[in-house]
Structure 1
Amino acid sequence: MRIGVSLPDNLLSRFDEIIGSWGYSSRSEAIRDAIRNYIQYYDWMNEVEGERIGVISIVYDQDKKGLLDSLMQIQNEYCKLMLSAFHVYLDRESCMEIMTFKGNGKDIKGAAEKMMALKGVKHVKLTTIALDTIT
């Protein structure tokens, strides 16, 4: 099946650099691989359950209108689970935030998914550890 995708120049250029260095024969093959990895990550995230310690790291465009308010609303919604937050200015427009959580894995995953869906968020990574593996 064929699809059409619109991408910003800088994203496509970076993607082309990577697929060239990894030896892909075409963009299509690299995109198929990227989609497979995305599906695997989605499946892994859906297995997050039980009491967990979690880390959500996000990189976002601090100038995107309304984004900071939306991120603050999500953090307030999950404040009973949040242990800490660390904010770093990466450059003039990009910020990174690293948040730690303790609680039900599905709730922590819910916070990550809400952040992931916001326009202006460039990257979200969720890592969790089951509490029973560290005690």
Structure 2
Amino acid sequence: MTVVSVSMPEELLERIDRFAEDHGYTGRSEVVRESARNLLGEFEDASLEDRELMAVVTVLFNYETTSVEERMMRLRHEHERLVASNFHSHVGAHYCMELFVLEGRLEEISSFVGKIRATQDTLSVDYSVMPVDEFGPVTPE
């Protein structure tokens, strides 16, 4: 097996070590391998390909890290056709939450989420995706 060197904050490494111990993993390498498989596989759901999708993406960051907020605004403008709605809220004393509602294809949504995840200093990125065509036609009562 190939050895890969990865840089990460000490706090994240400590969380990985605690997670490995608490969940019976043999060590941090096993946790990182499983995480990588999950990340790479999450947008490979064939049932979502070639369908119109809706996604909700939630980003949490420390507002004192202004580069994150600026990056979120740039991404919103760069993906104007994909972003149906955007909501910004203050959470607690030092944090902000950015919520994006997206409408588009899997590849576009995957790319957008990837760019957000790649943004330095985000604390949390969470999302959900669902096909729009599952709602079905609206029937009057």
**1:86-101 map, 5 Å:** 86-101=87-102
Change in 2 beyond 3 A, CA 1:124/1:64: same
Change in 2 beyond 3 A, CA 1:90/1:104: same
Could you tell me how far apart the structure 1 residues matched to 2:119 and 2:113 are?
10
The yes-or-no answer on 1:129 pairing with 2:130 is yes
Letter in 1 for 2:58: S
Give the aligned partner of residue 139 of structure 2. Answer: none
Unaligned stretches of 5+ residues in structure 2? 137-141
Give the aligned partner of residue 114 of structure 2. Answer: 113
Asked if the contact 1:48/1:128 (under 8 Å) is kept, the reply is no
The yes-or-no answer on 1:82 pairing with 2:73 is no
Give the aligned partner of residue 50 of structure 1. Answer: 51
SS in 1 for 2:26: coil
Asked if the contact 1:59/1:94 (under 8 Å) is kept, the reply is yes
Could you tell me how far apart the structure 2 residues matched to 1:31 and 1:107 are?
26
Q: TM-score, normalised by structure 2?
A: 0.75
Look at both structures and tell me which one has the larger radius of gyration over its CA atoms.
2
Aligned length: 134
Summarize deviations over 1:96-122 as a string: whole Å, max 9, x none: 222112234433333222222222223
How many percent identity over aligned positions?
24
Summarize deviations over 1:68-122 as a string: whole Å, max 9, x none: 2221121123334433333333444432222112234433333222222222223
Unaligned stretches of 5+ residues in structure 1? none
Could you tell me how far apart the structure 2 residues matched to 1:40 and 1:32 are?
12
Give the aligned partner of residue 3 of structure 2. Answer: 2
**1:22-41 map, 5 Å:** 22-41=23-42
Q: TM-score, normalised by structure 1?
A: 0.78
- Give RMSD over aligned pairs: 2.5
Change in 2 beyond 3 A, CA 1:5/1:67: same
Change in 2 beyond 3 A, CA 1:30/1:100: same
Could you tell me how far apart the structure 1 residues matched to 2:45 and 2:63 are?
29
Give the aligned partner of residue 103 of structure 1. Answer: 104
Asked if the contact 2:58/2:125 (under 8 Å) is kept, the reply is yes
Change in 2 beyond 3 A, CA 1:101/1:17: same
